[in-house]
């Protein structure tokens, strides 16, 4: 019985947090499908939006390369190019 006293508040709090989260909607554009298919396997899409004011082509290329080489993201060369092109066009620093 005592375990339920501890578990119920945790489950309730987790439910509130989950309900408060909103799905991140990326801008429409060529390559968005590649971003959504590949990037969310490891992190939230809000990472893209949150960092976009600081990211130019060189930085986006480095980030995608890091995800592939350092973290082992299984992204093909063609998809990596499409992802970078999309990110630069839609979330690149001016």
Domains in the chain: ranges and CATH = 25-91 (1.10.760.10)
**Residues contacting 73, CB < 8 A, separation 6+:** 38, 41, 42, 67
Q: What is the pLDDT of residue 23?
A: 80
44-71 pLDDT per residue, tens? 999 898 888 889 999 999 999 999 999 9
7-44 pLDDT per residue, tens? 566 555 555 544 455 788 999 999 999 999 999 989 99
Cα–Cα distance measured from residue 28 to residue 70, given in angstroms and rounded to the nearest whole number: 29
Pair 83, 35: CB distance under 8 Å? yes
């Amino acid at each position: 019985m005592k375990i339920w006293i501890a578990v119920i508040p945790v489950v309730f709090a987790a439910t509130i947090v989950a309900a408060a989260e909103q799905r991140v909607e990326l801008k429409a554009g060529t390559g968005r499908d590649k971003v959504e298919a590949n990037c969310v396997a490891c992190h939230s899409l809000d990472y893209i939006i949150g960092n976009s004011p600081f990211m130019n082509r060189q930085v986006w290329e480095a980030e995608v390369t890091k995800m592939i080489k350092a973290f082992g993201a299984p992204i093909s060369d063609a998809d990596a190019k499409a992802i970078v092109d999309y990110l630069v066009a839609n979330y690149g620093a001016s």
